[in-house]
A and B are shown apart, each in its own frame.
Chain A
Amino acid sequence: MKLKNYGIFIFLLTAYCLLLTAGEACAMHISEGILPLNWAALWFAVAIPFVALGMRKLKILSAQDLSIKPLVGLMAAIVFVVSLMPIPVPTAGTCSHPGGTAIPAILLGPSITVLITGVALLIQALFFAHGGLTTWGADVVSMGIMGAFSGIAVFKLIRKFNVSLALSAFFAGLISDWAIYFTTSVELAAGIRGDEPFWPLFTKILIAFIPTQLPLGIVEGAMTAGMVKLLFKRRADLLVKFGVIKAEEAAL
């Protein structure tokens, strides 16, 4: 059926533009109700062991240092605040939120970051309708697990080639953000595809995210680099304490 109705055309064009600017809504959090029960349960099952690993690590660390629990709690508050900050994304003409998980991953390690993300996501789901209770597992997998592990892997890999701290942190933030975006697309496509094939829908979601997420990754990279640079300038001892740099580097 061919329609030459301008009203419908304008509606569809608006809808398509909405798709292109979907970043604000689905930048990082999968909203309550999007995933069917089976997918929600699967992502929960994937997330739980990682959260448990984080809690185990926290228990070991807090037995040695009583200030670790407050520190991890405060980092969760920071991730919460950072992931609620609206960042203008000029290419999409909208605002989006960074993931903020590369920062704790570099400082405290990936397994504790999964725990931090889990806590921040639960508070956001309940009190801000960002994410959801049933989609908590999927959000932990994308933001916590993928974001943290990819960020720290890139950071450590680049540091092996004697690249500067700030540049390594930049790429850690960048890749972490893009990994979150990629995983969220997988989760969304798998959850909403119904009987349709996975790949075509996944590709379309991935493309729909591009205008927001590609520049946002650069912002996240700059944010992570800025944070590491500032810490190195003012409190290099903390970076040494958490094993981010060696004591000799701090002395330079």
Chain B
Amino acid sequence: MERGKSVETCKCFSEHFSKRHFLSGIDARVKLLVTLALLLMALSYKGIFFPMLVAVCSFTLCVRMGVPMRALLLRMAQPLLLAVVVLVLKCLFTGQDTLFVISLPTSHFPFLMLTGHWDGLMEGIRIASRIIGGVSLVIALGFATPFIEFVAALSWLRVPRPFIEIMMFAYRYLFVFLEDAETIYSAQKNRLGYAGLRKSLNSFGVLTGSLVLRGFEQSQKTADAMTQRGYTGDIPLLKSQPLKAAELAAAFIVVLAGGAVWMI
């Protein structure tokens, strides 16, 4: 783990970006419902136009929200690589219509011949577009919605309380453990804890073990502190306000427009 990586990871959370943007005032439930509706449409679409349109709109929204391009690209890097992998897999290993055959110098070995298929390539492009569309939509939701509002929206959607409570505990201590992991790693690295495979494996085990130990100790302290403040096993959640008619109408129009494009 590179030094500073965890700090960078923390910065990717919505809270670390500007809270004042044109979507910040909109109810998280509305944002979540619109995202889920568009996601379902993107996934069930048979071509590439709709997912790519969703991707363009989502990126535009992120840029308008003031999300730095670097953060956007960092988040997209992994899904994009996966999209390329799926594209290559589909092109080389599925389909019937031969697009090209590459014979390597030792072509009498059939497994060294690479055959690309036109229909496989098309299917790969379709899946890649679905990945790009779906991921960009979820990224936009992530940047537009602070964690605590997202949790309240999940609660409104009747996601069971224990799940939400665990999510809140996890989120609260995520940053603590990221910092801890970074500190332990740096200390180990400075003492040549990662010089050689055997030492590296051992150091990595100690790092994980130390995190688990801290987790146990911290959970006991947290439970004690919470009990002193009247904790009886349930964490109070944000009370949901009634949905605003204007926001609902706007969401309906967006989903309707998406549906119209999807049908075309």
Contacts and interface: CB of A to CB of B under 8 A. Distances in A.
Contacts of B169: 69-70, 72-74, 76-77
B15 to A, nearest CB: 10
A231 interface: yes
Interface range, A side: 35 or more
Contact of A115 (B6, B85, B166): B166
A37 B43 contact: yes
Given A3-B100, A128-B9, A230 B213 contact: yes
Interface of B is mostly: helix
Contacts of A32: 39, 79, 131, 134-135, 137-138
Contact of A119 (B13, B81, B170, B208): B170
B181 A81 contact: yes
B242 interface: no
Interface string B77-99: 01101111110111011110011
A126 B138 contact: yes
A78 B215 contact: yes
B168 interface: yes
B9 A84 contact: yes
Interface range, B side: 35 or more
A37 B40 contact: yes
B261 interface: no
Nearest to A65: B223
Contact of A19 (B88, B138, B163): B88
Contacts of A228: 209
**Candidate in A32, A115, A134, A204 with the most chain B CB atoms within 10 angstroms:** A32
Contacts of A201: 89, 93-94
Contacts of A208: 85, 89
Interface stretch (A51-59, A141-149, A150-158, A175-183): A51-59
B167 A33 contact: no
Contacts of B34: none
A234 interface: yes
Contacts of B220: 67, 71
A229 interface: yes
B206 A33 contact: no
A114 B81 CA distance: 27
Given A3-B102, A74-B219, A208-B89, A31 B78 contact: yes
A226 B223 CA distance: 27
Contacts of A133: 35-36, 39, 138
Contacts of A71: 215-216, 219-220, 223
Contacts of B99: 1
B205 interface: yes
Contact of B209 (A36, A67, A226): A226
A105 interface: no
Contacts of A24: 78, 81
Contacts of B85: 18-19, 22, 25-26, 208
A186 interface: no
A230 B209 contact: yes
B82 A25 contact: yes
B205 A126 contact: no
Contacts of B130: 33-34
B191 interface: no
A18 B116 CA distance: 16
Nearest to A135: B134
Interface stretch (B18-26, B171-179, B246-254): B171-179
Nearest to B197: A90
A2 B92 CA distance: 15
B240 to A, nearest CB: 19
A81 B177 contact: yes
27 contacts: A2-B101, A18-B84, A18-B88, A25-B79, A25-B85, A33-B133, A33-B135, A34-B130, A66-B233, A67-B223, A70-B219, A73-B169, A73-B219, A78-B215, A81-B181, A103-B212, A115-B162, A115-B166, A118-B163, A122-B167, A126-B138, A127-B14, A226-B204, A227-B208, A230-B206, A230-B209, A238-B216
Interface of A: 1-3, 8-9, 12, 15-16, 18-19, 22, 24-26, 31-37, 40, 51-52, 55, 58-59, 62-63, 66-67, 69-78, 80-82, 84-87, 100, 103, 107, 115-116, 118-120, 122-123, 125-130, 132-134, 192-194, 196, 200-201, 204-205, 208, 218-219, 222-231, 234-235, 238
Interface of B: 1-2, 5-6, 9, 12-14, 35-36, 39-40, 42-44, 51, 75-76, 78-79, 81-86, 88-90, 92-95, 98-103, 114, 116, 123, 127, 130-135, 137-139, 141-142, 147, 150, 160, 162-163, 165-174, 176-178, 181, 201-202, 204-213, 215-216, 218-220, 222-224, 226-227, 231-233
